[in-house]
Amino acid sequence: MRKVPAVLLAVVAFMSMTSAGMASAQDPITLEVRQVDATDTGQVKVVFSYSGERENVGDLVVRQAGKVVDASEAVPLEDQQALGIVLLIDASGSMEENALIERVKEAARTFVAQKAVTDQISVVSFNSAVRVEQDFTADKDLLTSAIDKIALGPATVLYDGIVRSAELFGDRDLQRNVVVFSDGGDSGSIAKASEALGALEGSNAALFAIGVANPGFESLATIARETGGTSGVASDAGSVDSVFAGVQSTLRKQYVVDFAATDTRGVVPITLTIGSTQTSAEYVSGSLEAGSSGLRPQVVAAPGGPAFLRGQLGLTLGIGLAVIAGVLVIYALGNIFFSGDKSLTDVLLPYSENYVASADDGDADDDLGKQSSLVSTPVLQRAVDATGRLAQRRGVLTLVETRLEHANLPLRAPEALFFYGASLVIFGIGAVALVGVFGGLFMLVFLALAPVGVVSLLASRRRKAFNSQLPDTLQLLASTLRAGFSLMQGIEAVSQEVAEPMGRELRRVVTEARLGRPLEEALDAVAERTDSVDFGWATMAIRIQREVGGNLSELLVTVGETMTERERLRRDVNSLVAEGKMSAYVLGVLPFGLGFFIWISNPGYLSPLFEEKVGNIMLAAAFVWMLFGFFWMKKIIEIDI
């Protein structure tokens, strides 16, 4: 046997050492924190991966805020929690080239064969659609069969596949990992890369990306880094097995260590050190952080301005102001481009000397009437006129005019209807854009009922004020008749003495009587405008006395005393039912007030009521029953006298 020269042995030894050193440089030892569970500050659990030898993990040193803490011995993760792995495999047509799909299937079968007994694996494929070939199971035969069934197809919905894989974990108690192999970029997903990253972060899953070199792989590698996973490129079809094996080795080399937190305020930094390898992470006490982006939160400067304007209230005010600004812009443009061409000189022309009206001038009175109206442009005037004609055909115009008269609102009925409808359309669109279709319709109903309620409230207050003045007015009118005044003179004298609304209505009676309207008709019109049954009875008494004769002053005194007693009885009843009325008002307003407060303070809390179908049904049923109860209580406490 020939002896090997010593020099040759030295060269070989040197080359071996150099080769080992190069391998070490190419595969440095990595240490990375994958998850921090600080929900229990007395036992903060840290899951980390370490690519070095397992025996070195015993040298782990944990520091919290720079101080060494007394941590437990690190143990393999698989001893405490089962691994959950989704094998997400590209099944696009390009995988047929160089029999790449077969090498991937073979590597996946090897991956399944080498899994631990407790590992749960799911197989998902994607091309033009995402298919779950096998849900989570520990059965190797089922998983191998699912891998064999993968069929090729067109397109590559990579991001949709990642989103679906993240959803598969659900509420399973697994350490969540998605291993994806793709030979190309995404070409047809509904989801975007940011949505795929969000789905992984939302399910606390890490992505391990495997593929062949292609322009779209960098996006996949970025998602892997952000979620705490790794990425690796197979140089050719033959090296797919080794890349899969590297991922499995990484998953096997995960450990858990726990310690009692010594600092529970704000963001807490921790550092893990094994030998010369070190890594850092941050967590917030009471939270579960996973993935590299979640473990290293970025500090964002607080926005300026009042705090209440940065929430839902600010958004609501912004949309409201935008709607108002839009209406004003449209109104201004209408005034500029569609306004009439009459100048101030033309308007004042009828009042000049030697003015003779011509057919071209039109009706001067009509023009002056339009200037005093809420509508000053031809376009709006035509819209108001069309609204008035439609309301007249439907029989609504007279009803609206009556309600406006009862409330003493100086509005034309067509204009009131037009602006009421336009406001509902504008604010309805804004409400739908703000809170969705169902919430928008709910707010639209409220906005539609609010003006009607306000008009009814004003009319009720005016009627009560009018009726409370009526007994004293009749006594005063009887005194003027005893003093020798005629009925007409007495009404005129009393109209100058009593307060509103009685004084205004009596002055109108005097004006109408002077213009030729019978006094009884003018008084009946007052009863209709004020919706006062008591004044109708007084008018009936006056009409009967004028027909059959008698002492009108004594009659008015008797009617006044009767009304005084009725008013006293009415006030007694109101005091007795005041508590019931207040209860009805409080119970009617409380749901809206409480709901508005919750919506402002925590908008997401009420989201299921508006976004879920069951929530919509419950909200509608609650609203109907609330209205039923409110009107029931209202009818119970209403007593006609």
Evaluate whether residue 306 is within a structural domain. no
Task: Give the tokens for residue 422.
Answer: 């336009």
Q: Domain containing 173 — which CATH number?
A: 3.40.50.410
Evaluate whether residue 19 is within a structural domain. no
Give the residue ranges of the chain where pLDDT is below 70.
Answer: 1-27, 235-238, 289-317, 329-377, 379, 435-436, 438-439, 603, 640-641
Amino acid at 106: E
How many CB atoms lie under 10 A from the CB of residue 228? 28
Full-model pTM? 0.44
Report H helices in 483-606.
Answer: 487-495, 502-514, 519-530, 533-548, 552-576, 578-601
Residue 224 and residue 86 share a domain = yes
Could you please report the per-residue DSSP string of 239-298? Answer: GHHHHHHHHHHHHHSEEEEEE--S--SSEEEEEEEETTEEEEEEEETT-EEESHHHHSPP
H-run or E-run covering 89: strand 83-90
Residue 386 and residue 459 share a domain = yes
- Measured CA to CA, the distance from residue 576 to residue 641 in angstroms comes to 14
Report the number of distinct structural domains present in the chain: 4
Residue 96 and residue 170 share a domain = yes
Nearest CA among 175, 125, 182, 132 for reference residue 152: 125
Report H helices in 372-501.
Answer: 378-394, 397-407, 413-482, 487-495
Evaluate whether residue 341 is within a structural domain. no
Residue 535 and residue 451 share a domain = yes
Last residue of a domain, one of 576, 592, 610: 576
How many CB atoms lie under 10 A from the CB of residue 253? 18
Evaluate whether residue 621 is within a structural domain. yes
Residue 476 and residue 445 share a domain = yes
- In Å, the largest CA–CA distance within the chain is 159
Residue 283 and residue 164 share a domain = no
For position 134, what pLDDT does the model report?
92
For position 136, what pLDDT does the model report?
92
Evaluate whether residue 166 is within a structural domain. yes
Domain carrying residue 265: 32-76+258-292
- Measured CA to CA, the distance from residue 42 to residue 45 in angstroms comes to 10
Last residue of a domain, one of 292, 314, 342: 292
Residue 453 and residue 526 share a domain = yes
Evaluate whether residue 438 is within a structural domain. yes
Residue 459 and residue 396 share a domain = yes
For position 312, what pLDDT does the model report?
60
Last residue of a domain, one of 549, 576, 603: 576
For position 241, what pLDDT does the model report?
77
For position 22, what pLDDT does the model report?
35
Residue 542 and residue 605 share a domain = no
Query: Tell me: the pLDDT tens digits for 309-365?
Result: 555 666 666 777 777 777 776 666 555 544 544 444 554 555 554 544 444 444 433
How many CB atoms lie under 10 A from the CB of residue 20? 10
Q: Are 364 and 350 in contact (CB under 8 A)?
A: yes
Residue 227 and residue 137 share a domain = yes
Rg (CA), the chain: 42
Evaluate whether residue 52 is within a structural domain. yes
Torsion over CA of 396, 397, 400 and 405, rounded to 10 degrees? Answer: -150
- For the chain, helix, strand, coil in percent to 5 are 60, 15, 25
Q: Domain containing 396 — which CATH number?
A: 1.20.81.30
Task: Give the tokens for residue 60.
Answer: 């782990």
Evaluate whether residue 357 is within a structural domain. no
Residue 544 and residue 558 share a domain = yes
Residue 422 and residue 405 share a domain = yes
